[in-house]
Amino acid sequence: MNPIRIALTKGRLEKRAVELFGAIGFDCSQLLNKGRRLILPMDSYEVVLAKAQDVITYVEHGACDVGLVGKDTIVESGCTAYEMLDLGFGKCRFALACREGADFYHGYHERVVASKYPHVAKAFFEQKGMDVKIIKIEGSVELAPLLDFAHAIVDIVETGSTLRENGLVVIEDIMPISARVIVNQASMKLRRAALEQLLEEMAVAVKVN
């Protein structure tokens, strides 16, 4: 049988995930010396390094069995894979923010909100019954209110320093975020025992660490 494939989000979550695998006792030497390789063996597993949205795509379609990805991307994409475990790291939150001193809710004019997460932003304002124009921005979304392009942003806040250093403040917290483990629906049926063991090992390791 093929090795179980674990899709791992490159970047911020990667280091913590490799530490977690090390704590379980997996041989992470290939992952630690990966160079530019994108598929790395780790004991009986294969680790695939991908961007967050692609982790979800690969797991949803069964190209990978398991994925480690932020709740932010899961919520934004409407992921259909099973969400099995909260890893408790990669903690941050979705928040609505605007320029310091601006009163976002004041008045009856049309409001424009910029976000890398348009679905999250849309759902947030729908649930408030507010009609807001959402514009998708690819990165450094803090620029939008500074350029008078948007009245506010919906974005990830971790330490808060990006907001602070750009004269922006949180108006409202929307949702807490952390790294999650997702599993392909068919894999969960076909490889249940092996996947349950892996999930159990990860659950134990996150409790200890």
Q: Which residues bind ligand PRP (CB under 6 A)?
A: 139-142, 155-162
| Residue number with CB closer to ligand PRP (162 or 185) | 162
Between vectors from CA 131 to CA 153 and to CA 158, what angle results, nearest 5°?
20
| Residue number with CB closer to ligand PRP (65 or 72) | 72
Letter string b/e over residues 5-17, b meaning 16 or more CB atoms within 10 A of that residue's CB = bbbbbeeebbebb
| Residue number with CB closer to ligand PRP (154 or 198) | 154
Question: Residue 207 Cβ, how far from ligand PRP at the closest point, in Å?
Answer: 26
Question: Residue 64 Cβ, how far from ligand PRP at the closest point, in Å?
Answer: 22
Question: Residue 10 Cβ, how far from ligand PRP at the closest point, in Å?
Answer: 12
Question: What's the residue count for the chain?
Answer: 209
Distance CA 23, CA 28 (A): 10
Question: Residue 143 Cβ, how far from ligand PRP at the closest point, in Å?
Answer: 9
| Residue number with CB closer to ligand PRP (113 or 141) | 141
Distance CA 5, CA 187 (A): 10
| Residue number with CB closer to ligand PRP (158 or 196) | 158
Q: How far from chain centre, in Å, is Cα 157?
A: 12
Distance CA 75, CA 166 (A): 27
Question: Residue 60 Cβ, how far from ligand PRP at the closest point, in Å?
Answer: 23
Between vectors from CA 171 to CA 162 and to CA 158, what angle results, nearest 5°?
35
Distance CA 96, CA 115 (A): 10
